[in-house]
Amino acid sequence: MKNTQSPDLFPYEIQDTQAVSRALNHLPCQDDIAGLAAFYKVMADPTRLRLLTALESGPLCATDLANVVQMSRSAVSHQLKALKDAHLVRSERDGKTLLYSLDDDHVASILCVTCEHLQEGDK
């Protein structure tokens, strides 16, 4: 949903009406902004990012994931719950084993584009 703030509420004189109008039409509503902030808050944790990048290689059970990231199973399970709640990972039962994977291709894309952006800054 787009922001519908009235132009009459601007505290300063507008310099470029078209640019301001374009920006207002592009600006998400407060609920969407809050959702984005919550998403990035989950993504901002280095431990969760390690789990997500480990899962880029394919599905893993919590025990194998704990071995890969060198953390306790309890700590991994705690972080996986936060990632599941944020719809960044999903789980699928394979017999008695619960396998975790990235929720969809968007998660991998976000990680990839972010890494590319950071590498460009190193040049």
Question: Tens digit of pLDDT for each residue in 5-56?
Answer: 555 688 999 999 999 999 999 999 999 999 999 999 999 999 999 999 999 9
Q: Which amino acid is at 61?
A: C
Strand, helix or coil for residue 79: helix
pLDDT 10s digits, 58-84: 999 999 999 999 999 999 999 999 999
Q: Which amino acid is at 20?
A: V
Task: Take residue 76 and report the two structure tokens written for it.
Answer: 């991994």
With b for 16 or more beta-carbon neighbours within 10 A and e for fewer, the 89-106 pattern comes to bbbeeeeeeebbbbbeee
